[in-house]
Amino acid sequence: MKIWKTTSLNLLVFILTFISCTNTQNKVPTVGFVDAFEDSTIAQAKAGFLDALKAGGFSEDAKTLNLVYRNAQGNIPTLTQIVQYFISQEVTLMATCPTLSTITALQNTKEIPIFMMVAPTPEIMGVKHTDGSLPPTCLV
C-alpha cells in the first residue's frame, strides 16, 4: 500500500511539473534570438530589435511575444545546438546576430524565417541563390 501511495505521489508531481512547464501561450509568436558571442554592438542590435518589436505591438511585458534568448559564447558547436533547439521548438522567427549565427541558421532551416542583424549584405555573405534571389527565409 505504501509503494502505491509513493508511486501515485510521484506520478502526480510529474504531471503537475509537466503541466506547469507547458507553453500556454499557443497563439503568441515565439522569437528565438541567437547571439554567437557577447559584444556591445550585438547588445545594441538586440535592444534595437526588441524596441522595434515593441513599437509594433509585440513585447513580453504585454504578453504578445515569447522571447527565447541564447548566446553561444563563441562556441560553434553550441551555436549549432542553439539553432537546432529553436528549430525543434518551432519558433515563429529566428533573430540572428552576427553573420555566423545567420549562416548557421540558414544552413539548418528552410522553414523558419530568419531576421539577420549586424551582418553584411546577403551578397557579401554569399547566401544568394545563383539567380540572385535570397533564400525565402532570409529577412533583411
Cα–Cα distance measured from residue 86 to residue 130, given in angstroms and rounded to the nearest whole number? 28
Question: Which residue do the cell numbers 542583424 mark?
Answer: 117
Mean pLDDT of the chain: 80
Strands 66-71 vs 93-97: parallel, antiparallel or unpaired: unpaired
pLDDT in tens, 33-60: 999 999 887 889 899 999 999 999 999 9
The DSSP result for 42-94, as a single string, is HHHHHHHHHHHHHHTT--TTTTS-EEEEEE-TT-HHHHHHHHHHHHHTT-SEE
Integer angstrom CA distances of residue 24 from 78, 98, 140: 28, 31, 31
Give all domains of the chain, ordered by start, each with its CATH number.
27-139 (3.40.50.2300)
Task: Tell me the pTM.
Answer: 0.69
pLDDT in tens, 12-26: 334 444 444 444 445
| Burial class of residue 84, CB neighbours in 10 A (0-12, 13-18, 19+) | middle
Cα–Cα distance measured from residue 83 to residue 2, given in angstroms and rounded to the nearest whole number? 46
Question: Which residue do the cell numbers 519558433 mark?
Answer: 91
pLDDT in tens, 55-113: 999 999 999 999 999 999 999 999 999 999 999 999 999 999 998 999 999 999 999 99
